[in-house]
Every structure is written in structure tokens, then in C-alpha cells.
Amino acid sequence: MSAQVAEIGGGQREWEDRVWFPPGPQLAVCLSGSKERLADLTDDELLQVAAAARRQTSWAQARELAAIAELTRRRTSDEDCGAEESGDPEYRVLSARESVAEEVAVALSVTGNAAATLVHLAEQLTGPLARTGEALGAGRVDMAKARVICDVTEGLPGDVAGKVQCVALEKASEQTTGQLRRRIKRIAQRLAPQAIEERKRGAVRHRRLELWDTPSGTSDLALCDLAAEDAHAIFNKITAAANGIKADGDPRPLSTLRADLATALLHGVELPEAVRTLLSRTGDESDVASPSADGGEAVCARLDDDVDERLGGLAGEVERRLNHVRGRVRPRELPHAIRQAARHIDDQLADARDTACQGDEECHGSPDYRPPAAMRREIEARHSRCVFPTCNQPSRRCDLDHTIPWRPGLTCRCNLAPLCRRHHRLKQTAGWRLHQIWPGLLIWITPSGGWYIVRPDRQ
Ligand SMILES: [Zn+2]
Ligand SMILES: [Zn+2]
């Protein structure tokens, strides 16, 4: 990750030492430089400015929530005087909490729902989730991630919520909201399966069909809070039918076919009839094969600890060496220097990597371009998602990319990694580089000279 404290040489530039500059009044001053100055910054510095501004935003949001929490405390401390129960629901007065949400809504010009969410978040982040509140104030997580932590811990017993929060904060700064949510949901599920089950049952009671209009003049129709099994079964059934239509040569994207099928079904058309109607509208181009979804659940490859440790050591060493380069070159030379350094590391490891990968076997990998099924499963188990740092695409829906293109690149576990279509294209895009320096350990180099190290999943 490029966000590391850089060693600064003689000619200091404005942003070089701002990487982990904490948010607050001083950072606000740094960020308030006149706009023209942005034009003088390097690409790398511009990204640091953006990251600094985001930290500053988080800091301000923590203040907003702290103020709301304080007001809520004042209003709810004398709750008993206001809210006497009247039998008639028509005349029920608002609870102190509902009332303060309305105060917040008008003061901030947000909807009542948004305000109620803010009040709840404010109470959590200054109460049971105070450590998340501190991380927000320090710019280590942003508001979206704080919300994820608050959502996932909702309704959990206090000690479990505390543990989940603790685990969440370990990695939250380098994870997207999707990655964070997945990770801590899994942990919560393990720690408090019963509470999760109860919460689910409660949510299902509020299942509903929602409709809203979009800015483009279309409308969205959504079935919300279905039991997950139901929703997945429906989705899979429609997907299977859509895949069948595609296999018959329909050039339309799978998502379009799914939407058309679902629309027909909700209009009361039977599935076989809906499929026939769509098929009769099939164009004549035969198009891209849909990515294979061979239901075989990838076996979880549990990394044994010493492999994990070795990879961790290697990742740390790469990080240290790239940082060293970063500290020594002038900002304009950074992208080139980092690309070279990464290639150098890759070259240096090549022999050892080949030997390690080959093991006792005569030949290295498979002779074909397409990996055999067992190899594919191994690669998919090693990375359950596309290997771009922020991507959530499950690897069984990805291409297995040859990190070094096939021939001279091998079809082998040291040269394959899942990439979704989008990030496959990104890899081919000017300025981007991807190295697999050890089986499953990859480094992305960005056009501005940043780097992101991707390690195998830890199950
Ligand atoms: Zn190999
Ligand atoms: Zn991707």
C-alpha cells in the first residue's frame, strides 16, 4: 500500500510527509491551499491529497455524531417526564429519541429516516462502539465503514459486539466496505450464531416489495428482506434459465435476460413460456460464452501457518524495498522507479519460485493454455475473489489470468490468478503492472507509482 510514512530527503514537498498526517485543524489548513497548487502536484501527491481530504471528512463526521450524541443524551436523560403512555395510538407522543431525530432532521435538512440512523449511529459510536468512533475521528475508517461495523454488530450480545469491533478495526483501513462486511459477518456468525438467526427472523417479518423511480425515468422494483434461501433460489432459477437462453446464442447480456425473465414471471407468464418468448426474439450474433459456473464449491485451501508466515515475510520485505525506493527518488521519477524495482524483485525471485513451485515433479504446470479443473479449483480456493485489491467478484466468475502471458508464461499455480473482466482489462492498460512474485502473492503497481500487495485468502 502506498500509504506509508516516507523517509524525506532534502527538498521537501508539501505532500510528501502528509501521508499519515492526522486529521484536524492543521490538516484543514494544509488542504486549504489555493486550487492552482493542485496543478503543481504529482499524480501520487494528488492521490495523497484526496486521501487526506477523506480523513478530514471522517474527522468532521465524528464531530457531527458526537454533537448529535450529546444532544440525544440531554433529551433522553429526562425521558420519563415526557413520554407518558396513552392508550390511544393516535395520541401516542413521540419518544424522546424519536423527537430528537426530528430535531436533527430539520436542523440538517435530512429525511426523518436518515436522522434516526444518525442518532442511532451517534449513540453507538460514543457508547458501545466507542473505539470505532475514535477510529472515525482519527480518519482510520470513514463513515461508510463505521456504518458497516454498526450494522453487523446490531443486536449482538455486548461481548461479541466488542470482539467483532476489535477484529473489524484491525483491517478496516485497507478494506472496502464490501470486504469488511463479509469478513466481520463471518466472524459474528461464528461467535453468535443464535443472535444472528434471531436477527434474521426479525428482519424477514418486515419483508416487502418496494418501488421507486430513478433519475433516468425508469423504475426500480425490489423484493426486500426475503429469507436468503428464497432469494437465492429465485435468483439461481432465473439465472439458469437465462444461461440456457444465452447458450442458444442470444447476444444480450445475462443481466438483461434475467430482468426480462423476472418481468415476464411477475406478469404471470409461466417460466417455459417466458423462455420461449425471449428465445424467439434472439438476435443472430453468437456472443461471448458466459463464464462457467460449475456449481462445485471450491474446496477451502487452508494455508498452513508456515506458508502464511513465509508469504507475510516476503510481503513485508517487498514493502520495505519499495518504500526505500520511494524515499530516494524525486516525485516525478516515482512511477518509473517503482515499476523498475518491482520488476527487479520479481526477477530476483524467479529461480527460487520455479524451484519451489515445481517441487519434485518433472514438468512445471500444465502444457495447455487452459488450466485443468483441479488446478482451477486450487487457484479459486487460494483467492476466493478477483485479485484486484478492492474487487468483490467471486473467482468462479473470473478469468484465470496468466500473470505473465502464456508462452513464455506457464499454466501453473505460480502464474495464475483470478481476474474479473474489468480488472483483466485494467492489467493490460498503460501504466498498470501486475507481478506474481510468489504463488498467490501479487503486487499491483499503479500509474502514479503506488503499490498494493495482495496475499492469498486466509480462511
Ligand atoms: Zn509454477
Ligand atoms: Zn476484479
Of 275, 254, 256, give the one whose Cα is nearest residue 264: 275
CA of 444 to the centre of ligand 2 (A): 12
DSSP string, 149-206: HHHHHTT--HHHHHHHHHHHHHHGGGS-HHHHHHHHHHHHHHH-HHHHHHHHHHHHTT
CA of 420 to the centre of ligand 2 (A): 4
Q: Which ligand is nearest to the CA of 388?
A: 2
pLDDT tens-digit profile of 236-265? Answer: 999 999 998 888 888 889 999 999 999 999
CA of 298 to the centre of ligand 2 (A): 18
pLDDT for the residue numbered 358? 74
pLDDT for the residue numbered 91? 63
Q: Which ligand is nearest to the CA of 423?
A: 2
The ranges of the chain with pLDDT < 70 are 1-20, 34-36, 78-93, 281-306, 359-363, 459
pLDDT for the residue numbered 285? 33
CA of 389 to the centre of ligand 2 (A): 8
For residue 31, what are the contacts with CB-CB under 8 A and spacing of at least 6?
49, 52, 53, 56
For residue 33, what are the contacts with CB-CB under 8 A and spacing of at least 6?
14
Q: Which ligand is nearest to the CA of 434?
A: 2
CA of 445 to the centre of ligand 2 (A): 15
For residue 212, what are the contacts with CB-CB under 8 A and spacing of at least 6?
219, 220
pLDDT for the residue numbered 184? 95
**Dihedral of alpha carbons 445, 447, 450, 454, sign:** negative
pLDDT for the residue numbered 67? 97
Q: Which ligand is nearest to the CA of 356?
A: 1
pLDDT for the residue numbered 108? 92
pLDDT for the residue numbered 7? 33
What are the grid coordinates assigned to 152, written together? 453487523
pLDDT tens-digit profile of 310-333? Answer: 788 888 989 999 999 988 888 888
Amino acid found at 458: R
**Dihedral of alpha carbons 322, 325, 327, 329, sign:** negative
Q: Which ligand is nearest to the CA of 411?
A: 1
Q: Which ligand is nearest to the CA of 392?
A: 2
pLDDT for the residue numbered 284? 37
pLDDT for the residue numbered 365? 82
CA of 454 to the centre of ligand 1 (A): 18
CA of 359 to the centre of ligand 1 (A): 9
Q: How far apart are CA 254 and CA 261, in angstroms?
A: 10
Contact at 8 Å (CB) between 346 and 444?
Answer: no
Contact at 8 Å (CB) between 195 and 154?
Answer: no
pLDDT for the residue numbered 295? 30
Q: Which ligand is nearest to the CA of 410?
A: 1
Q: Which ligand is nearest to the CA of 398?
A: 2
Q: Residue 5: in which H helix or E strand, if any?
A: none
Q: How far apart are CA 268 and CA 274, in angstroms?
A: 10
Q: How far apart are CA 4 and CA 206, in angstroms?
A: 46
CA-CA-CA-CA torsion for 376, 381, 384, 388, nearest 10 degrees? -70
For residue 45, what are the contacts with CB-CB under 8 A and spacing of at least 6?
13, 14, 15, 16, 331
Percent of the chain with pLDDT over 90: 55
pLDDT for the residue numbered 434? 96
Contact at 8 Å (CB) between 12 and 327?
Answer: no
CA of 391 to the centre of ligand 2 (A): 5
pLDDT tens-digit profile of 226-242? Answer: 998 999 999 999 999 99
CA atoms within 13 A on the CB side of 52: 25
